[in-house]
Structure 1
Amino acid sequence: MDVVLDGLFSQNVTYDYESDYEYKDELESNNSKTWIPFLYSLVLVIGLLGNGLVLTALVQKRRFWTISDIFILHLSIADVLLLVMLPFLAVQASHDCGWCSKGFTCKITGAAFNINFYCGILLLVCISLDRCLSIAHARRLYSQKRPTSAHISCLLVWLCSLILSIPDWIFMVARKDPSQEKLLCVHKYSQSQTDWKLTSRLLHHMLGFLLPAAILIICWSCVLLRLQHSLKSLQKLRSVNVNLSLVAIFFLCWIPYNITLLVDTVRSHPEETNDSSGIPEGSMKTALMVTSALGCVHACLRPLLYLGRCANFRKRILGFLRCAAADSESSLWELGVGEDVLPDQRHEGEELKQMTGVDHQIPSAQC
């Protein structure tokens, strides 16, 4: 009896894994083209309304501005700058607008994205340094009697942000995505410009994120350690509550993007050919798109934080909606930046000095 195995083993069947991966990438891309534009639209509406209320409250008390008002103004301007670019980012994510990803539009959207990030973290550094010095060392970086120093700090923050965004103005171009035949805004470096790519990435990682983040962590660690030795720690914790919330929200929104960008920097090859598109491949492209969208969400969260944590700001907004007069000299944000020490705080400081004297031998926390 002859057993014929030709029908079982002669068939040479191969499975196209590559096409399966391409299908998954295309499915992820289609999903991102749907929900990312929707997210940008939601952030745009909430952000414009919230920052509009913040700017309205500042305009109402423009004759009695505090140091906190100055920093809140610049934070809101940075957010509004990003918000007005969100329609272009939305249509770029949907790949439905060719001209929106070309020329100057591509450069200005990329620069606005990074300027918002740099301004946000550097302004928080200025606020945190003032709070750390005032609580841990009884000194002031800014004073209500000398508001010029706050204005100069804000101008320097904008200047540093513009300098750090120079690579976006130079190297941000529209490139065709080989997998989708659509235009994307990416940083394009030629083979002779690989050093520029490494330098710009290092400046972003070190000066734009790691160094400011380290300063923020050190400052607020010193503040919290100092408050442990305070007689009225709960009252002081309330005074720094808004500051800590601002820093926490910023980190939650921007850390995923910076970690993803750092991974892309480590994984990228030092040499690039002249015909390289500069577009990240596969999951890295999706990760950068999703985490950058999460970073943009930050532009609408600060006004919500003010409404939830700042009672005077809520009263001002309710008074504005009811067309009622409000006290222009009261602090709206409870940041405590540049504010003079109140009498009860001076008395508390004297008691704290007595407790930390030689007789009591209680070590004080140092920054």
Structure 2
Amino acid sequence: VSMSRFVANICPLEESYKHILLPLAYSVVFVLGLLLNGAMLWLCCCHTKEWTCTTIYLVNLAVADLLYIFSLPLLIINYAMQDIWLFGELLCKMVRFLFYNNLYGSILLLTCISVHRFLGICYPIRSLAYKTRRLAVIGTAVSWILVLIQVLPSLIYARTGFINNRTVCYDLTSPDNFSNYYLYGMVLTVSGFLCPFLIILICYCLMIRSLIQTTGKSNLMSSAARAKSIRTILLVCGLFAVCLAPFHITRAMYLYVRVHRKPDCRLLQGATLFYKSWRPLVGLNSCFSPLLYFLSAYYTLHSQSHCQESLLLFQ
């Protein structure tokens, strides 16, 4: 018998908080995400005459968000019924797959946008040859291929099972498979989150340095526009730090406790509480992304008084 199953057998977890917290949180994410991403797609498809590179990334980001959002009603019903899964193993696999597809697809697409903006600010002339819609399409295609490679194993690990004579859809995988899932989860954290986050962090640090150094040396951007750009950069980094980093940290701790620690029920209860309470916060990324990356860019692009700023930042 694996350590994970042994721990699960002797440490029955108190998870009644999920039956209130998760349906409420997922309902908020569903409503906000549907409205914001729907508006984002509508503005892109109906009111944008010529798509820029950023528009291509944003439309793909909205599609990834909506695929995840459409799976939330199943989770809302599941947790409202106190973890009773009514929809079969195939939909269980699809719900878990869509969560990770959205999570790591969004991260890679945001990485593409960050690199695009970095090139536009730090190398505005030399980067013109690389800031084409053709390369943006290639970038999104490569991002989706990488995401599929990363998250396809989740279809294998995700499964249904029985706990106290009730059918459940396991959050990660079944208890007897945690040892195998642990390595996959760590690789996914490094390749899907840590590496892209470091790229984004480096890009934004270099962008801030470039914006500060060009103060008084360039007429392309006003001081107000420059300050707004720096605030946006800091806000994006804050979004990653608040929504994504805690989830990956708590998930890694949870997996480690389940697989490597000797039975410690209080430690396991704490790790489970932190991980599963933070999970809905990741979904808020699908609500904030349209606000951060589209609405401000859209109105800036269509404002004649900020034409120079939009050309530098969003084309």
* TM-score (ref. length: structure 2): 0.79
By percentage of residues, which structure has more helix?
Answer: 2
- 2:280 maps to 1:296: no
In the TM superposition, residue 129 of structure 1 has moved relative to its aligned partner by: 1.6
Measured on the aligned residues, the alpha-carbon RMSD in Å equals 3.5
Of residues 38, 43, 47 in structure 2, which corresponds to 1:57? 43
| Corresponding residue to 1:185 among 145, 170, 193 | 170
Q: Select 1:164's aligned residue among 150, 153, 160.
A: 150
The answer on 1:108 being equivalent to 2:98 is no
C-alpha separation in 2, matches of 1:219 and 1:258: 21
Tell me the distance in 2 between the aligned counterparts of 1:192 and 1:38: 30
Deviations 1:259-308 (A, max 9, x none): 1011123323269xxxxxxxx95233332221111111222223344687
- CA distance in 1: counterparts of 2:62 and 2:39, whole angstroms: 10
Q: Which has the higher contact order (CA 8 A, sep 6+)?
A: 2
Deviations 1:2-50 (A, max 9, x none): xxxxxxxxxxxxxxxxxxx97xx54xx3332023202211211111111
Is the partner of 1:268 in helix, strand or coil?
helix
Which residue does 2:120 correspond to in 1?
A: 134
Cα 1:294–1:311 change in 2 (3 A) is same
Query: CA 1:311–1:154 in 2, change beyond 3 Å: closer, same or farther?
Result: closer
Pick one of 73, 82, 99 that aligns with 2:59: 73
Change beyond 3 A, Cα 1:184–1:213: same
Gaps of at least 5 residues in structure 2 are 1-10, 217-222, 262-266
CA gap of 1:336–1:112, structure 2 versus 1, over 3 A, is: farther
Residue correspondences, number? 292
* 1:239 and 1:334 in contact (8 A); partners too: no
Separation in structure 2 between the aligned mates of residue 204 and residue 111 of structure 1, nearest angstrom:
13
Do structure 1's residue 236 and structure 2's residue 226 form an aligned pair? yes
Q: Any residues of structure 2 matched to 1:38-53 within 5 Å, and which?
A: 38-53=24-39
1:185: Cα distance to partner?
Answer: 1.9
Partners of 1:206 and 1:243 in 2: CA distance: 23
**Given the superposition, is the C-alpha separation of residues 234 and 83 from structure 1 closer, same or farther in structure 2, using an over 3 Å criterion?**
same
Q: 1:335 & 1:255 partners in 2: Cα distance?
A: 32
Instruction: Give, in angstroms, the shift of residue 248 of structure 1.
Output: 2.5
- In structure 2, what residue type is equivalent to 1:187? L
Per-residue displacement from partner, 1:169-196 (whole Å, max 9, x unpaired)? Answer: 1110123346x956232333687994x4
User: One-letter code of the match for 1:250?
Assistant: F
The 3 A distance-change label for structure 1 pair 193 and 255 is closer
Distance 2:170 2:129 in 1: 40
Give unmatched runs, 5+ long, in structure 1: 1-20, 272-279, 317-326, 340-367
From the superposition, tell whether residues 281 and 334 of structure 1 become closer, same or farther in structure 2 (CA, over 3 Å). farther
